[in-house]
Amino acid sequence: MMINRKTLLASGVAAAIFAVSAASAAPVASNVSSAAAQPIFNVPNGSTVLFDQTANPGTNGAPAQNFSSSYDSYDNEAADDFVVPAGGWTVSSVNIISTGTAGFTGATPAAVTFYPDAGGLPGATPVCSYPTAAATVTATDTSIVLPSGCALGAGTYWVGVSVDFNFVTQGQIFWSTQSSGSGSQAVWRNPGDAFGSGCTNFDTLPNCAVAGGVESQLGFQILGAVGGGGGVPAEPPRELPTLSQWSALLAVGGLALLGLFGVRRRSRI
């Protein structure tokens, strides 16, 4: 009986080691099939949906993940553009349609970066950068709350996202595509080029052969408040004088005329 127990224990340990090894050796995917569905996003109290590109869910997804340290060469970032109207916005959170491969849900950090537009690609210098914003992952989406507001003036910007996922225990996470959308095509980069795409700098999803290489927009929302974007402030309204102010002005004018009349009379004498 003791031998049987030891044998069973050894077999269990071996199976566990094999499972972890198999997970570690699992191929890292550059796309994932996802159900075409529009999730119901969380909108924090006091926030407004400023931009929404979620109405046409696609059937694939682009990696948008900060891997664990042993997989650093796979670290990648996906980004899509949006337009801020006159008056500007103060962005407080970002929602993306997402799909995970291992069923993980819960809290995890995420890097969110806002870039200015530079000829149809994200500019080199971010407007706002949040390396460890608080993200909540569900089966259909990821909501990311910024630690402080990002003030954006009127213009075109890009939002880049990379969610922290431990590949061995949490698998991968993908930012889901849209069958149609506005603005430029979404972009992606993998500085370590472990995916072998050649996209060490931002390039379009089809050019990088990620997200299936067909649909070129990503599903996301920008939330926050209108205003605070550093635009030119409106000129304050010009108030007309009140009746009492007119009376005072007339009285002053009358005294000035009397004084002038008195000076002229003295000069004649």
Question: What integer is the mean pLDDT of 106-111?
Answer: 98
Residue 171 has φ and ψ, to the nearest 5°, of 80, -145
Task: State the average pLDDT for the chain.
Answer: 82
Higher confidence at residue 239 or residue 179? 179
**Is the pLDDT confidence value at 37 over 50?**
yes
pTM of the predicted protein model:
0.76
90 pairs with which residues across the strands? 151, 225
Could you read off the pLDDT of 142-181 as tens digits, one per residue?
999 999 999 999 999 999 999 999 999 999 999 999 999 9
Question: What integer is the mean pLDDT of 110-132?
Answer: 98
In whole angstroms, give the CA distance from residue 38 to residue 247.
66
Q: Look at 6-20, 39-53, 135-149, 176-190 and tell me which has the smallest mean pLDDT.
A: 6-20
Domains of the chain (ranges, CATH numbers): 33-226 (2.60.120)
100, 94, 98, 63: which is closest to 205 by C-alpha?
63
Residue 13, H or E segment: helix 2-25
Residues 6 or more apart in contact with residue 72 via CB below 8 angstroms: 192
Q: What SS3 state is found at 216?
A: coil
pLDDT at 22: 39
pLDDT at 92: 97
For residue 244, count other CB atoms closer than 10 A to its CB: 8
**Beta-sheet pairing, 106-116 with 89-100:** unpaired
Question: What integer is the mean pLDDT of 39-47?
Answer: 82
pLDDT at 40: 83
pLDDT at 247: 52
